[in-house]
Structure 1
Amino acid sequence: MSYLSIEFGLLFIAFFALYWGCYRSPKIQNLLLLVSSYLIVGSYSWQFALILFIYTCAIYLFSVMIAASDRHAKRWLFLGLCVSIVNLALFKYFDFFRYELQDLLNFFNLPILLPVITVLIPIGISFYTFHSVSYLVSVKKKELPVAKFWDFALFLSFFPSVIAGPINRAKDFLPQINITQPREILEPIRAFTLLILAVIKVYCLGGLISEHWVNPIFANPLEFSVIDLLVGLYAYAMQIYLNFSGYTDLVTGIALLLGFRLPINFNFPYLALNLRDFWARWHISLSRWIRDYIYIPLGGNRRGFIRTQINVMLAMLLSGLWHGAGINFIIWGGCHGIGIVALNIGDRYFGQGWVTARSPLVARLLTWHYICFTWLFFNCESLSDAVDYLTALMHNFLIEPHYAGAFLVICFIYFAYPMCKNFPEWFIIQLTKIPHCYLPMVFILILWLVIYIAPSGMPNFIYANF
C-alpha cells in the first residue's frame, strides 16, 4: 500500500483518531503502532512480517546476551552482527552472488550447476537491519540498557521509517518509544507542510519529470542527441532527489503527527561544493551510519593517508552494494569512492578546498556533473544499458535535439535552486498567519491542484526497492 494512496490516507485518519484517543497511555499507543506497522509490512506479504518478527527475536536475544556478559560481550556482538549480515545477504544478495559464482564456474569450465532458488526481498530489510546494528552496538557500548522486547519490536518495525528510512539510531529513537508521560503532536503546521511538500515533490514534480523526460530518453538513448541525453541525466538527478526527499518529508510529517521525531535526511544536496559535502547533505542518516559503523571501524583516517583512501573506497563500495545487488550499483559506489579519493589527493597536494576557494560556482558545477554521471549507473538496469547511454553521449552530436527547451528549463531550475533553500520555513511562517479554521481548506486546495496537475497513476518510492 502506497503512503500516497487515498486508501492509506483514509486509514491513517481513522488510525490517527484512535491513536490520539488513547493519548493518556503511551503503552496502548505503542501497541497500536506495533500492530499497524506489522499490518503494513504484512500487506506486501505475510512472510515479510514473519521474517521481521523472527529476526527481531534473534537480535533481541543477542542484545540480552551482550548486556548479561561483560567477558563475552564482544563475542556476542560479533555473532549478532554476523546474523544481521547473513540475513541481509541471504535475502538481498543470494541471486546476485549465485549468478556471479555460476559465471566464474563456467569460465573455468567446471561442470557445476548451482541450484536456482527464487528468494523474495523482504520489504524494508536493509533499513531494519541497519536499525538493529545500531541497537546492538549501543547496548555493547552501554549507551542504553536492553529495551523491553515490544519496544524493540516497534523500533525495528515503526511504519513511517521501515519501508525506506530514514535510518534511526537506537539511542535516539528508543527513548521516544519508552516514555511514561503522554505524547503530543509535534509542530503540526510543520508536519502538514511536509506532507504537502511530499505530495508536490513525489506525485507532481517527480512524476512529470519522469514521464516526460527521464523515461523516454532512458528507454532508447541511441536515438537521442547529446543535448537530449544530458537532459535525461539532469532530469533523473532531479527525479530521484524529489522522490526520495519527498518520501522523507512524508514520513517525517507522519511521525511528527504521531509524536515522534525522525533524523534529518536531506539538506539541499545539489548545493554541494564537492563530493564530501554532497554526502553530508544526501541521505544523511545513511552516510553517517556508514561513517560510524563501517568507515571508522575500518580505521577511518587514523592509519595514514593511503589507508584512509582504502577505507573510503571500501565504505563507498559497500554503500553501492547496499543500494542494490548488481554490478551497476557497485560501479556507482566505486565512482563516488574514486571521486572522494581524488578530492582528498587534491586537498593534500593543492590545499584544502582549492577549487572552492577560487570559484564556488565552478566547484558546484563540477560536483553536479559528476553526480549526474554517477546517477547513470544507478538508473540503468544493466551495465550494457549504461554503456549504450555513454556511447550515445560520446557520438550523437549530429542528431537534432528533441528536448532543447527542456535543457534550458533545467538550467534555469539549477541556478534558481539556491533561492528555494528558505522556502519551507517561509511557507510555514505564512501558514501561521492564517486562522486555524481556514487551514484545512488551504491544504485541500493545494492537494487538489497538485493531483489535477500530476500525471495519472501512483508513483513508486525509488528507495523502497533498497
Structure 2
Amino acid sequence: MLFPTLTFGLFFLAVYSVTWAVRGSNEWRKILLLLASWIFYGAWDWRFVALLIASAIINWGLAGLIAGMPEEEEVARRKALLMLGVVANLAILGFFKYFDFFLEQAGELLGAIGFARDMPLLQIVLPVGVSFFTFQGMSYLIDVYKKRVPAAPLLDITLLMSFFPHLVAGPIVRASDLIPQFRETPRLDRGMVAMGLLLIVWGLFKKAVIASELSVGLVDPVFFDPSAHSQMDLIVAAYGYAIQIYCDFSAYSDMAIGLAALLGYHFPHNFNQPYRAASLQDFWRRWHISLSSWLRDYLYISLGGSRRGFMRQCANLLMTMLIGGFWHGAKWTFLIWGGLHGSVLMLERIWARFRPAGWPTVPRWLGILITFHIVLLGWIFFRAETFDGAIFYIRGMAGSDAASAVTTPLALALILFGMAIHFTPHHLAQGIAVRLRNMSAPALGLLVGATILIVDAMRFEGVAPFIYYQF
C-alpha cells in the first residue's frame, strides 16, 4: 500500500476517523492503531505480519528480563540476554536479506578453487521494512540495557515496531522518542494539523511529480542499459538520480511525519537540505538523520568511537560506513558506496588534524560543490546493479558514441526544480503552516483537497515504489 494512492488515502481517512472517535481509552486507541498497522503491512504480504509480531515479542520479552535483573548482581546475565537479543534481530535480518548472497559468494569461492557446485539458494522474499524494524528492536534492547529507557508493555513495543507511518521506510523512531508519547492520550492542535497536512501534500508532490517522473523517464532506462545512451544522458541521469533519491526518500519521511502528526504523534526530522553540506561529515548530519544518528550511537560509539586514539577513530568510521552500506542491501555496490563515504570521512579527519598551519580554509561554496560531487559519485554505485555496471557507467560519462535518447527539456527542468525545492528555506514552510493554522476547518479542507487534485493532475502515469522499500 503506497502513500500516494487512493487506496491508502481511504485507508488513512478510516484510521483517522476511528482512532479520534475513541475517547477515554488510550489503550483501545493503541490497539486500533496496531490493527490498522497490521492491515497496512498485510496488504503487501500477510505472511510477514507474523514475523513483525514475533520480532516485537522477542524484543519485549528479553527487555523485560534485562530490566528485571539488578545491574550490580547480574552483569554477565544481563549482557548475555542483550547479546541474545541482538543476535536474534540480526538473524532475522541476515536470513531474509543476506542468506542467498552469502551462499552465492561461497559458491563462487568454491568454483575459484576447483570445487564448483550448485548452492541451495532459497530465493527468499525480502519483507518490506525488515531493516527498519529490526534496527528499532535492537536500539530498544540496548537502551533498556543501558537504562536509558524503562522496559515497556508489550502493546507499546509492538506498536512502536509496527506503527504504519514509519514502518517500511523510516524514520527510525527510537523507543525513547515514541513510547513516552504512547503512554499519554494524544492531543491534536491546529498547529499539528496544519504542519501535518502541509508535509503530506509537499511529500506527495515531490514523490508523484518529481521523483516518479525522473525515475521512469530518465534514471531507470539509462541505468538499465548505459551502453545505449549518450554521454549527455549518462551525466544528466546521474544528476537526476541525486534529485530523485532525495525527493523520493524525503517525500516518504515528510509524509510519515505528517501522517503521525495527524494521529497526534511527533516524529523526528529526517532531512535537512543535505546537498548544502560543505563536508561529508556535514552531509551525514543532514541526510537520513535517524539512520546516521543510529549508526553513530549504536555502532560507531560501540566500536570505540574516538576514545581509543586517532587511528582507531578512523578505522571505526570506515567500519561504520561499510556496515551502513551493507545494511542497504546484499550487493557489493552498497559496500563500495559505504566504503567511499567512510574513506572520505577518514580523509576529512586526517586533513583536519594534520592540515599545515596557515593554509587557507576551503571556501564554503567550493566545499559544497566538492561534497555534492563525491556524493554523486557514490550514488552511481548505489544505483547500479553491479560493480562492473557502475564502472562502465562512469567511463561512459567521460565519452560515449550512442545517440542521446532521454535528455529532454522536461528532464532538465525537473532536475533544476528538484534542486530548487531542496534549497527552499525552512522558515518558508513554517510561515505557510502558520497561515494554514489560522484558516477555518472548511477552508483548510477545501484548499488541501484542491491541492491534492492539482498534484494528481500534474503527475504522470502511475507511481513508482519508494526507493527505500527495498531496504
Corresponding residue for residue 60 of structure 1 = 60
The AA in structure 1 aligned to 2:11 is: L
Q: Say whether the 8 Å CA contact 2:247–2:418 is kept in structure 1.
A: no
| CA RMSD, Structure 1 to Structure 2 (Å) | 2.3
CA distance in structure 2 between the aligned counterparts of 1:389 and 1:168, rounded to whole angstroms: 36
Aligned-residue sequence identity (percent) comes to 35
Corresponding residue for residue 287 of structure 1 = 292
Aligned residues: 464
Corresponding residue for residue 300 of structure 1 = 305
Corresponding residue for residue 40 of structure 1 = 40
How much has 1:377 moved relative to structure 2? 0.9
SS for the counterpart of 2:460 is coil
The 5 A counterparts of 1:59-98 are 59-69=59-69, 70=71, 71=74, 72-98=77-103
Q: Say whether the 8 Å CA contact 2:326–2:338 is kept in structure 1.
A: yes
Corresponding residue for residue 27 of structure 1 = 27
Corresponding residue for residue 367 of structure 1 = 371
CA distance in structure 2 between the aligned counterparts of 1:257 and 1:353, rounded to whole angstroms: 53
Q: Say whether the 8 Å CA contact 2:240–2:415 is kept in structure 1.
A: yes
Which one of the candidate residues 407, 415, 420 is aligned to 1:403?
Answer: 407
SS for the counterpart of 2:143 is helix
Q: Which runs of 5+ in 1 are unaligned?
A: none
Corresponding residue for residue 393 of structure 1 = 397
Question: Relative to structure 1, is the Cα distance of residues 110 and 339 closer, same or farther in structure 2, using a 3 angstrom cutoff?
Answer: same
SS for the counterpart of 1:110 is coil
Q: Say whether the 8 Å CA contact 1:347–1:354 is kept in structure 2.
A: no
Q: Which runs of 5+ in 2 are unaligned?
A: none
The 5 A counterparts of 1:446-465 are 446-465=451-470
Question: Relative to structure 1, is the Cα distance of residues 340 and 7 closer, same or farther in structure 2, using a 3 angstrom cutoff?
Answer: same
How much has 1:416 moved relative to structure 2? 7.7
CA distance in structure 2 between the aligned counterparts of 1:318 and 1:135, rounded to whole angstroms: 20
Residue deviations 1:416-449 (CA, integer Å, cap 9, x gap): 8534443322322343454443111211221111
Segment of structure 1 superposing worse, 149-158 or 406-415: 406-415
SS for the counterpart of 2:308 is coil
Residue deviations 1:26-66 (CA, integer Å, cap 9, x gap): 11110001111112222222220111112222222211221
Are positions 1:192 and 2:197 aligned together? Answer: yes
How much has 1:125 moved relative to structure 2? 1.1
Question: Relative to structure 1, is the Cα distance of residues 208 and 399 closer, same or farther in structure 2, using a 3 angstrom cutoff?
Answer: closer
Corresponding residue for residue 331 of structure 1 = 336
How much has 1:296 moved relative to structure 2? 0.5
Segment of structure 1 superposing worse, 137-146 or 447-456: 137-146
Residue deviations 1:252-309 (CA, integer Å, cap 9, x gap): 1110011111111100111111100000000000000000010001011111111111
The 5 A counterparts of 1:128-167 are 128-167=133-172
Q: Say whether the 8 Å CA contact 2:229–2:402 is kept in structure 1.
A: no
SS for the counterpart of 2:165 is helix
CA distance in structure 1 between the aligned counterparts of 2:187 and 2:414, rounded to whole angstroms: 46
Residue deviations 1:321-366 (CA, integer Å, cap 9, x gap): 11111111111111111111111122122279978x4311111011
SS for the counterpart of 1:96 is helix
How much has 1:142 moved relative to structure 2? 1.7
Question: Relative to structure 1, is the Cα distance of residues 389 and 352 closer, same or farther in structure 2, using a 3 angstrom cutoff?
Answer: farther
Q: Say whether the 8 Å CA contact 2:19–2:29 is kept in structure 1.
A: yes
CA distance in structure 2 between the aligned counterparts of 1:353 and 1:54, rounded to whole angstroms: 59
TM-score (norm. length: structure 2): 0.93
CA distance in structure 2 between the aligned counterparts of 1:24 and 1:351, rounded to whole angstroms: 66
Q: Say whether the 8 Å CA contact 1:252–1:262 is kept in structure 2.
A: yes
The AA in structure 2 aligned to 1:265 is: N
Corresponding residue for residue 109 of structure 2 = 104
CA distance in structure 1 between the aligned counterparts of 2:272 and 2:373, rounded to whole angstroms: 19
Segment of structure 1 superposing worse, 116-125 or 75-84: 116-125
Q: Say whether the 8 Å CA contact 1:124–1:163 is kept in structure 2.
A: yes
